[in-house]
Amino acid sequence: MEETKVVDVQALINARPFSRYQWLVFAMCFVIVLMDGFDTAAIGFIAPSLVGEWHLSRAALAPVLSAALFGLACGALLSGPLADRWGRRGVLIAAVFIFGVACLASGQASDLTSLTALRFVTGVGLGAAMPNAVTLMSEFCPNGRRATIVNLMFCGFPLGAALGGFLAAWMIPHFGWRSVLHFGGAVPLLLAVVLVLALPESIQYMVSKQKPVERIRKVLTRIAPHVAAAETFVMRETAGPEAGSGGARIVLSRTHVFGSLMLWLCYFMGLVIFYGLINWMPVLLKDAGLSPQRAALISALFPLGGAGTVLCGMLMDRFNPNGVVAGAYALGAVSVYAIGQAVGNLGWLVCAVFVAGALVNTAQASMPALAAAFYPTSGRGTGVAWMLGVGRFGGIAGSFLVAELSRQQMSLPGIFTVVAMAGAASCVALLLKQVASPRATTEVADTQPLAH
């Protein structure tokens, strides 16, 4: 084979089968997202035990349930520009280390104040980890399979949240609620060591920042050994008027600002549903007459939806991605409403929780891939991170919304009806984005090289 001196990195990735090395990157990012989901949801599953051991009211739980969400927002908003400036790898490793240490320390908390503070720090690490894992993974994917692979990786989040419920149901009776947090801290610390040894920097990022050819070649030859003699690496993207700007300027540019706002609104409303239910469903179902263990097990069904997420990614790669995700949100809203109508019938309740969780999580897990495709490389880290960061305030709003509705003694069907309205709002936001930005601005085109 004739050796290639000039290599277009994305064209090379598009032309080759997904390599073992890319699957290794996928595996590391998947575990990061898995533990992100576990640690994010863990506090909701230990909440009933906290109420009993520390003699707390349900209203008193709201700050500790929301502390990590504030941290998630801060971590995401800060990490995106850092990743676009300094690289995805270093920010990602630091984030995993931070949330591992803080979660481990949370298991030693002796009062609500210290637990709340530690959950905030945990959230900062979690919030920085998720968008950088998505961005890094998306930049190792071929264009035609990006949504499928990123969605498959993002399945780790709901699976991790569900794992938290199942482990909590087993661990708390045997070892106490602190054991759940100890587990959620120890695993990320071990993972951080693996990342230091094996996680590469994004090839696209290195090319866009004109990093040394030797560094780029070292990573790319793990995917395509025949490029070992390449002398120049280039990347071609459709350039807008904001080309060469920083990540924040790209996200807020005239080309992208409306789409950014709609992505933020959509993700915000999706997290109103997710965190409102993941944090409060165990308590609500317990109040409806279920035992704490059964309430935890049924609630753990809500985060499950991995198969739907992969299918949604495949549909996004073949059809209009905005329309596909909007449809999932619309169906999710109907299913959340159905949960409130099924309370009192255990069989229907189990089905409703599972179906609603599958649809809502399918839609929500597809959003990072949608955002990654919307922004160019120089703004992708900021774009994905800011969508996740702004959206986290939806999680905060969802937690306080359900707490307030419960305090007002609204019926369970009424609570689920209000929460379901957020899904309808997400659907509308994506349809508006499609009308305003019918084509992603990151399509590959024959333009000048961005870096070498």
Domain CATH number, residue 176: 1.20.1250.20
**Given this model, what pLDDT does residue 158 score?**
74
Q: What is the mean pLDDT of the chain?
A: 81
Q: What is the pLDDT of residues 137-184, one digit of tens each?
A: 988 888 888 888 888 888 888 788 778 778 887 888 888 878 888 888
pTM for this structure?
0.76
* Total domains, the chain: 1
**Given this model, what pLDDT does residue 405 score?**
82
Does residue 449 lie in a domain region? Answer: no
Least confident of 5-9, 122-126, 320-324: 5-9
Tell me the average pLDDT across 369-390.
Answer: 85
Decide if pLDDT at 446 tops 50. no
Nearest to 154 by CA among 315, 356, 363, 328: 363
Higher pLDDT, 56 or 361: 361
Q: What is the pLDDT of residues 247-294, one digit of tens each?
A: 778 888 888 889 889 999 999 999 888 878 877 777 777 776 676 767
Least confident of 146-155, 403-412, 416-425: 403-412
For 321-411, where are the alpha helices, taking DSSP H only? 321-342, 346-374, 377-407
Beta bridge partners of 234: 8
Nearest to 375 by CA among 364, 365, 386, 366: 386
Q: What is the pLDDT of residues 219-245, one digit of tens each?
A: 888 888 887 777 777 777 654 545 455
Nearest to 31 by CA among 202, 194, 220: 194
**Given this model, what pLDDT does residue 452 score?**
43
Q: Which residue has the tokens 């054991």?
A: 179
**Given this model, what pLDDT does residue 374 score?**
86
Higher pLDDT, 191 or 412: 191
Does residue 441 lie in a domain region? Answer: no
Domain coverage including residue 272: 6-436
Q: Which residue has the tokens 């990614």?
A: 313
Tell me the average pLDDT across 415-423.
Answer: 88
Name the pLDDT band for 383 (thresholds 50, 70, 90): confident
Does residue 452 lie in a domain region? Answer: no
**Given this model, what pLDDT does residue 330 score?**
92
Does residue 165 lie in a domain region? Answer: yes
Does residue 448 lie in a domain region? Answer: no
Does residue 450 lie in a domain region? Answer: no
**Given this model, what pLDDT does residue 306 score?**
58
Neighbours of 404 (CB within 10 A): 12
Cα-based distances in Å from 235 to 423, 442, 445: 37, 12, 10
Nearest to 377 by CA among 218, 199, 210, 155: 210
Does residue 51 lie in a domain region? Answer: yes
Q: What is the pLDDT of residues 83-139, one digit of tens each?
A: 888 888 999 999 999 989 998 998 888 888 888 899 899 989 988 998 899 889 988
**Given this model, what pLDDT does residue 438 score?**
63
Does residue 1 lie in a domain region? Answer: no
Tell me the average pLDDT across 79-83.
Answer: 86
Q: What is the pLDDT of residues 22-56, one digit of tens each?
A: 999 999 999 999 988 888 777 777 777 777 777 77
Q: Which residue has the tokens 């069904």?
A: 301
